[in-house]
Amino acid sequence: MQGKMFGFEGVKRAAVVGALCVLMAACAQTRPELAGGANNIAAGTTQDFSVNVGDRIYFLNDQTSLSADAQAVLNKQAQWLKAFPSYKVTIEGHADERGTRQYNIALGARRAAATKDYLVARGVSAQRINTISYGKERPVAVCNAETCWSQNRRAVTVLTSTGS
Amino acid sequence: MLVARRKMLLLLAGMKIRRQLFSAFAAMLGVFMAMPSAHALIEINITEGNVEPMPIALPAFAAQGTAPDMASKVSAVVEADLRRSGLLAPLDPASFIQQGMSASSMPRFGDWRTIGAQALVSGSLVAQPNGQIKAEFRLWDVFAGQQLVGQQFVTSPENWRRLAHIIADTIYERLTGERGYFDTRIVFIDESGPKDKRRKRLAIMDQDGANVRYLTDGADLVLTPRFSPVRQEVTYMSYVGGNPQVYLFNIESGQREVLGNFPGMTFAPRFSPDGQKVIMSLQQGSNANLFVMDLRSRRTTRLTNTPAIDTSPSFSPDGQRVVFESDRGGSQQLYVMNANGSNAQRISFGPGRYSTPVWSPRGDLIAFTKVHQGRFMIGVMRPDGKGERILTEGYHNEGPAWSPNGRVLVFFRDTPGASGGPQVWTVDLTGYNEQRVDTPNFASDPAWSPTLD
């Protein structure tokens, strides 16, 4: 099955979704199976990517390893990107505010690199992927609690050129 | 050698200063000079841990042909500088017995002893025929009844704040024996807007928070500015064009240039003590390593090559060694290596993570940020890692930088939550005398200028 081909642990959920698709093109046309959403968003749009695939993954405090949940999201991202090859992406690495600035810049870069490496291993061309780190400079959640910090420790895959 | 006989004329043309000897003042006022002693009669002992600030009387300068408010503004800045140092305690003017003091007044020392003053400053601000202003002042040892310093400075009226800082430096230097740092500036990052949409601008201000000037417009994210020790230059990180790189910025010309042609993000820059090199981190994949760039030849040299995050490098004042942070051992810790990258040795061993080390200009200490159990501290240790002392501790303190005389640390303190934000603080090397520097907006990443000559 496809799950074995992936050769990674923690991708079982993604493998089940992927197993429904025989061809990538077919998956793209039957968006719900590919992206897991049942809505009116057109397949292959940036909205499709962010809503039905998921544009971001999260990390544990001071960690750069990819959790099972993160790998599941990245598996879907890889399938989607292979289905819509005209897109390029920039992966933004971020850290929470509970570290020092320079280290967090490097930590964000590591998270972006780990994300890129995973997508490349899933078959997305490295030529399509840029990375950038914002360290702790671009939080999305601003409360003073782990519930917010955990949302900020993220890697976001941003589509950078329009698909046709 | 007698400080009391040094008379100076200061010409402040823009930011350029020329000092020259000036003798008429000494002859004119020499009558007031008592027999000078070979040793300072009063001097603050600042080698002890807890300093008892010296009581000093600072009557407002007399205005002679100048607007009285100019004289009182100069006096107020002198007083604020000396008070903020934590080493001097200006007395309440309401307690002063002798009134109407000027640079030509003979102090009634008994009156000043009565109110507990150990030092006294008398001064005048005198209008000059060419539109300039002249400040004359004397520093007196109240107990010895003796003049310690008598100086005059001439400048244009718009330089009144620098004039006041130079007077404060003169008083501080005579009483503490250390180099003054009031006529200096701080480069920092001005932060405005909501926390999830911060606009960051490179900015510069006087060390007391006055004269804030913006060097970038906020269009690009900017971080971690550092002053050149020898020129009006700043090195910092900018996200210009979505490509985060280390830049060099000339404060006088406003010119900006990217430093180097690196195949990845560069960050955490800092000048060498001679101002001829910039040391920084280069991100390659998951790893950050240290490089140094010679500003004249533009040649870059790799200093570290580890599968780790090596960052926040800072040269020792003799340029022979570099302190930096690395997680090569599993967590952020401080390491010292030779300036060519050899012989890296870990120096931090306490509980917690250590980062942002910066070597004192005196060479004897390394300041750092320490994070332990969710608390952020500013501390110092010796270059061999011994003698760690925490100077301040709380929710979030980060990024220390030294005053040019190695006496004071400036850092930023963040406050939690959506409405929280960083502000610039200073703390004395002893850990006493925390002071916030008033800024128009939130402010972070402060770095001190060298002493201006």
A109 and B283 in contact by Cβ < 8 A? Answer: yes
Query: Is the confidence at residue A10, as pLDDT, over 80?
Result: no
Q: Measured between CB atoms, does B417 come within 8 Å of chain A?
A: yes
SS (H, E, C) B333-355: EEEEEECCCCCCEECCCCCCEEE
Disruptive mutation site among B283, B327, B354 for chain A (greatest number of A CBs within 10 Å): B283
Ranges B50-59, B396-405, B439-448: which has the least confidence: B50-59
| pLDDT (0 to 100) of residue A162 | 63
Ranges A155-164, B293-302, B441-450: which has the least confidence: A155-164
pLDDT band, residue B261 (cuts 50/70/90): confident
A97 and B374 in contact by Cβ < 8 A? Answer: no
Contacts of A89 in chain B (CB under 8 A): none
Q: Which residues of A touch B (CB under 8 A)?
A: 64, 97-103, 105-107, 109-110, 113-114, 132-135, 137-144
Distance from CA of B196 to the nearest CA of A (A): 5
Phi and psi (nearest 5°) for B395? -60, -50
pLDDT band, residue B42 (cuts 50/70/90): low
| pLDDT (0 to 100) of residue A2 | 37
More confident of the two residues A28 and B235: B235
Rounded Cα gap, residues B317 and B315, in angstroms: 6
Query: Is the confidence at residue A31, as pLDDT, over 50?
Result: no
| pLDDT (0 to 100) of residue B170 | 97
One domain, residues B329 and B224: yes
Tell me if B110 is assigned to some domain. Answer: yes
pLDDT band, residue A164 (cuts 50/70/90): very low
Average pLDDT, chain B: 89
A48, A50, A66, A108, A110 from A154: Cα distances, Å = 20, 14, 11, 8, 11
pLDDT band, residue B36 (cuts 50/70/90): very low
| pLDDT (0 to 100) of residue A39 | 77
B445 and A114 in contact by Cβ < 8 A? Answer: no
Q: What is the CATH number of the domain that holds B388?
A: 2.120.10.30
Q: What pLDDT digit, counting tens, does each position of B43-71 carry?
A: 665 554 556 899 999 999 999 987 778 99
Query: Is the confidence at residue B272, as pLDDT, over 60?
Result: yes
One domain, residues B132 and B78: yes
> Domain range spanning residue B41?
3-176
Tell me if B284 is assigned to some domain. Answer: yes
A132 and B244 in contact by Cβ < 8 A? Answer: yes
One domain, residues B294 and B344: yes
More confident of the two residues B351 and B25: B351
Rounded Cα gap, residues B286 and A155, in angstroms: 14
User: What percentage of chain A reaches a pLDDT higher than 70?
Assistant: 75
| pLDDT (0 to 100) of residue A47 | 93
Average pLDDT, chain A: 82
Q: Where are the alpha helices (DSSP H) in B188-238?
A: none
Query: Is the confidence at residue A163, as pLDDT, over 60?
Result: no
Distance from CA of A147 to the nearest CA of B (A): 12
Query: Is the confidence at residue B408, as pLDDT, over 80?
Result: yes
One domain, residues B296 and B201: yes
User: What percentage of chain B reaches a pLDDT higher than 90?
Assistant: 85
Q: Which of B200, B267, B356 sits opposite A100 (nearest CB)?
A: B356
Tell me if B29 is assigned to some domain. Answer: yes
pLDDT band, residue B182 (cuts 50/70/90): very high
Tell me if B453 is assigned to some domain. Answer: no
> Mean pLDDT over residues A116-129, rounded?
98
What are chain A's domains? 2-159 (3.30.1330.60)
Q: Residue A156: which residues within 8 A CB-CB, separation 6 or more?
A: A55, A56, A91, A92, A94
One domain, residues B252 and B144: no
| pLDDT (0 to 100) of residue A38 | 62
Chain A CA closest to residue B282: A106
One domain, residues B429 and B379: yes
Query: Is the confidence at residue B23, as pLDDT, over 50?
Result: no
Q: Which of B196, B286, B327 sits opposite A140 (nearest CB)?
A: B196
* Total tally of structural domains belonging to chain B: 2
Rounded Cα gap, residues B91 and B272, in angstroms: 42
Q: What is the CATH number of the domain that holds B22?
A: 3.40.50.10070
One domain, residues B97 and B190: no
One domain, residues B419 and B332: yes
Query: Is the confidence at residue B418, as pLDDT, over 80?
Result: yes
Cβ neighbours of A73 (radius 10 Å): 22
Q: Residue B451: which residues within 8 A CB-CB, separation 6 or more?
A: B179, B180, B181, B183, B184, B404, B405
One domain, residues B171 and B288: no
| DSSP, residue by residue, B70-136 | HHHHHHHHHHHHHHHTSSEEEPPGGG--S-S--TTPPP-HHHHHHTT-SEEEEEEEEE-TTS-EEEE
DSSP state at residue B61 = P
One domain, residues B218 and B167: no
Q: Which of B130, B154, B176 is the last residue of a domain?
A: B176
Rounded Cα gap, residues B341 and B322, in angstroms: 8
Does the model's ipTM exceed the 0.95 cut? Answer: no
Report the SS3 class of residue A69: helix
One domain, residues B167 and B232: no
pLDDT band, residue B278 (cuts 50/70/90): very high
pLDDT band, residue A83 (cuts 50/70/90): very high
